[in-house]
Structure 1
Amino acid sequence: MPPTDASANAGTAPVTDAGTTSLTAHESRIGPAADAGADSEDTLDLHLPDEFVALFAEDTGADGSRSLGATATATATAGQASASATSAVTVEGSGTGSGTGTGACAPETPPASTSPNPDDLLGDVADWGPVNTPAGALHLVPVRIERDLPIISRWMNDPAVTAFWGLAGPENAIEEHLRSQLVGDGRSVPCMGLLEGTPMSYWEIYRADLDPLARHYPARPHDTGVHLLIGGIRDRGRGIGGTLLRAVADLALDKRPACARVVAEPDIRNTPSVAAFLTAGFRFSAEIDLPAKRAALMIRDRSLRHLL
């Protein structure tokens, strides 16, 4: 789960149904002899065609047992197979959860994604690949504890970062934070940001609509959240945060067709962070109270991405 606080100042850029079915009025009034008395003489002699009778003719076995004729049996079997197929399609379709998200997207929204792994809540971030930015090629690579813990720990213990991330401490505490995401249900993916192959930033890409954050703002299905930490001191304070944020936000919109918005919630006091989001094409939506801070809700809309 992403940290409560994620900001991007000069020293850091944490850019942090079931419906019911009821009978219609017409259907509810139809029933066998619903209004007829037991001695009603309004009867109808119905003569079935011979073929229809033959269809449901009973076969008598050698032991005296009775069963449906072969034609009826075949018909019933085919009907059951058809019903099973329909049920399977319905379950599979509802399992993707993309119908609601697609409706939330603006006219530009492409069809909902048909990911081969419907259980992946973020669309295989590991397969998003690199993206070109004015600062160079940026590649988000999911964190590997044994490889990345030392450098992430060093970044998190930088005083300029600690003020907003609040994760300073021994490696085992930071490892716990990372591992909780890596072994979770996939709603948050911690990543290293490689710029031209060099690790220089830490990212958390997460499902904001499935995060506790959703209790504090009017979330929409498939909202994608982003936290960013610029690790290297030489990469801070020169506008690179806004450049990378725009690239990653647009990458998320490109790779997650059901997503209509990318959101973030930097500390309202972190003016450089808010400025970085504005530079990246996010709009300021509202101030929201979170458990550990008052935040600026920043949103990058799919429908406005080519205008901002």
Structure 2
Amino acid sequence: MTDVYVHEESVDGFGTVRIRPLDPHADAEVVHRWAAEERAVFWGMNGLSRDQVAGIYAHMDTLDTHHAFLLLKDGTPAVLLQTYEPEADRVSECYEVQGGDLGIHVLLAPAGPDGARPGWSAVLLGVIASYVLKGLERRRIVVDPDVRNEKAIARFLRQGFEAGPVVVLPEIDVPDVYLPEKKAQLAFLRREVAFPE
């Protein structure tokens, strides 16, 4: 497992959040456990085995345009983050990609035995925004949650994302990847909105 962190942020009253590349095999157990839960149905991995999940991320690890990361809060896995270049993704068929865009997918760790964690997702999305918009020097974050995932859409909008169009992402069926058609709500977070001067 890698100890190379690409981003680190200490958040007052919350803790230290570090981001490191996902290790497809060493992290497969935690990712499989999160993705197998009913709440993660929109992640698209319900019903997959641990080895299938590891295989998906091992394949992603070979790509230059799609990457996976694990966010750790005080050393404990808290978020699975995927980033992608929109022009190399099916989303590019649905909107006009701008220079400086970066797409993300976010899967939060399940709540612990104590239940809900107020403010948790806002802080973690803020760290992700800081990494992408400042650390990677991108101009805009693009998200494409399933239109039925009202909770995620509301969370993004509260975070400052602007709603874009509802689109239909086309089915992808190639040797190493299968993605079913998806009706998605596009939303965008511009750097100047997230981090006004």
Give TM class, smaller chain.
0.7 to 0.9
Corresponding residue number in structure 1 for 2:72: 194
Greater CA deviation, 236-245 or 147-156? 236-245
Tell me the distance in 2 between the aligned counterparts of 1:130 and 1:137.
7
Q: CA deviation at 1:221?
A: 2.3
Equivalent residue of 1:224, what SS? strand
Match of 1:204 among 72, 77, 82: 82
1:127-276 equivalent positions in 2, closer than 5 A: 128-133=6-11, 135-161=14-40, 163-168=41-46, 169-184=48-63, 186-234=64-112, 238-257=118-137, 259-276=138-155
Residue equivalent to 1:296: 185
The residue identity in structure 2 corresponding to 1:297 is L
TM-score, normalised to structure 2, is: 0.82
Equivalences for residues 273-292 of structure 1 within 5 A:
273-291=152-170, 292=181
Please tell me the residue identity of whatever aligns with 2:60: Q
Describe the SS at the equivalent of 1:147: coil
1:137 aligned counterpart, secondary structure: strand
Q: Who is 2:173 aligned against? A: none
Whole-angstrom CA distance in 2 between matches of 1:237 and 1:214: 35
Shift of 1:237: 6.2
Q: Secondary structure at the match of 1:232?
A: coil
Moved over 4 A (4+): none
Distance 1:132 1:149 in 2: 26
Deviation of 1:198 (Å): 0.7
Check whether the contact 1:138–1:196 (CA below 8 A) recurs between aligned residues: yes
Distance 1:237 1:288 in 2: 32
Distance 1:298 1:154, change over 3 A: same
Q: Is the 8 A contact 2:25 2:58 kept in 1?
A: no
C-alpha contact (below 8 Å) 2:90/2:169 kept by paired residues: no
CA distance in 2, matches of 1:289, 1:146: 32
Secondary structure of 1:238's partner?
A: coil
Whether the 8 Å CA contact 1:263–1:297 is kept in 2: the answer is yes
Aligned pair count reads 179
Distance 1:236 1:206, change over 3 A: farther
Could you report, residue by residue, the CA deviation over 1:206-233 in whole angstroms, capped at 9, with x for unpaired residues?
A: 2123222111111112311111111232
State the alpha-carbon separation in 2 of the partners of residues 256 and 131 from structure 1: 14
The structure whose Rg is larger is 1
Counterpart code for 2:31: I
Which structure has more RCO (C-alpha within 8 Å, separation ≥ 6)?
1
Q: Is the Cα–Cα contact under 8 Å of residues 65 and 84 in structure 2 kept in the other structure?
A: yes
Matched, 1:305 2:194: yes
Decide whether aligned partners of structure 1 residues 293 and 212 sit closer, same or farther in structure 2, where only a CA change above 3 A counts.
Answer: closer
3-state secondary structure, aligned to 2:78: strand
Equivalent residues of 2:142, 2:186 under 8 A apart: yes
| Contact in 1 for aligned 2:6/2:20 (Cα 8 Å) | no
Which amino acid counterpart does residue 248 of structure 1 have in structure 2?
Answer: I
Q: Deviations over 1:226-261 (max 9, x none)?
A: 11111232375634223211221122111223x211
TM-superposed deviation, 1:304 = 2.2
| Residue 97 (structure 1) aligns with | none
Instruction: Report the counterpart of residue 122 of structure 1 in structure 2.
Output: none
In structure 2, C-alpha distance between the alignment counterparts of 1:232 and 1:172, rounded to whole Å: 21
